Amino acid sequence: MISALTKAFFHGLARSRTIEKLASRYGMRRKTSFGRRFIAGETMEEAIEAARAIQARGMLLTLDQLGESVTTLAEADAATRVYIDMIGRIVEAGIERNISLKLTQLGLNVDRATCTDNLRRILEACRPHDFFVRIDMEDSPTVQDTLDVHRTLWEHGHRNIGVVLQSMLRRSEEDLRRLNEAAVRVRLVKGAYKEPKTVAYQRKADVDTAFQRLMEAMLLEGTYPAIGTHDPVLLGRAKTFAAEHGISRERFEFQMLYGVRRDLQAALADEGYRVRLYVPFGRQWFPYFMRRLGERPANVMFILRGILRER
């Protein structure tokens, strides 16, 4: 069981500038460095290389240029321009046109109106090239603003955008009902942020139960839902539920993180399910990396064994 203490520990590390500097120096330096298990690389070229390898294995992908919680409008504008440039480079490379982004990277915590306009700029750059854009969900204080920004652009005719819901948040059931009614594409995950008990389930069993309940509602009433989990039990329940209700494998997909449970990724693809990998890259990879370790303590042992073998 993943305790709240474990998550708190790794979220604390994620905020440490000293540890981030050390990790940035050594974590991605070589192909065998520990960060590369979960991060495709620091550059767009490395991300494209990883994307081609994923497509060669018969799987789908979404690219995420890491970076979040900018503190100035200038930083938000710079991040927006990076994404617009990334769109052109994806088209040029001929890889799948699917990206993920965080709204705090576009200035959500600085000025919501500017963030909305930054996302609009990205969506307009995407429009001629048939991209799909997924807005990642962040910690609970940003959830309502994230959904509001999405709704604003949805109502202005941008229908190539989806969102993410977290089963650990108590509000997600009502949020899913509204999104299903609007035919918005939703990715369901458990949630990686440390949250207070007033807004989130604290026990793994409760998070899993909520995940299954939301997953079933998505499969029955959602629009091409994305089931984001590496939990074999929940994956099995999704497959069984879909089969029992006559839901074909073309009507939903499984989504998994780059580098996590590659055995399950391959097995699902071999069974004929659509599997999409979330492929993060960029120099600001450390906070993301810490959250992955906090989600699954087994990841820590994997990294430690890799470091010892390298030494």
The number of angstroms, rounded, from the C-alpha of 179 to the middle of its chain's C-alpha atoms is 18
Residues tagged active-site: 136, 187
Cα 213 to Cα 40, 149, 176, 219, 247, distances in angstroms: 32, 26, 11, 10, 16
- Sequence-ordered list of residues with C-beta below 8 angstroms from that of 13, at least 6 positions apart, any chain: 19, 290
Under 8 Å between Cβ of 170 and 193: no
Spatial separation of the C-alpha atoms in residues 186 and 162, rounded to whole Å: 6
At 163, is the secondary structure helix, strand, or coil?
strand
- Sequence-ordered list of residues with C-beta below 8 angstroms from that of 86, at least 6 positions apart, any chain: 44, 63, 65, 99
Residue in this structure with the two tokens 């370790």, named with its chain if needed: 293
How many H helices and E strands in the chain? 12, 8
3-class SS string, 207-241: HHHHHHHHHHHHHHHCCCCEEECCCHHHHHHHHHH
Spatial separation of the C-alpha atoms in residues 97 and 87, rounded to whole Å: 8
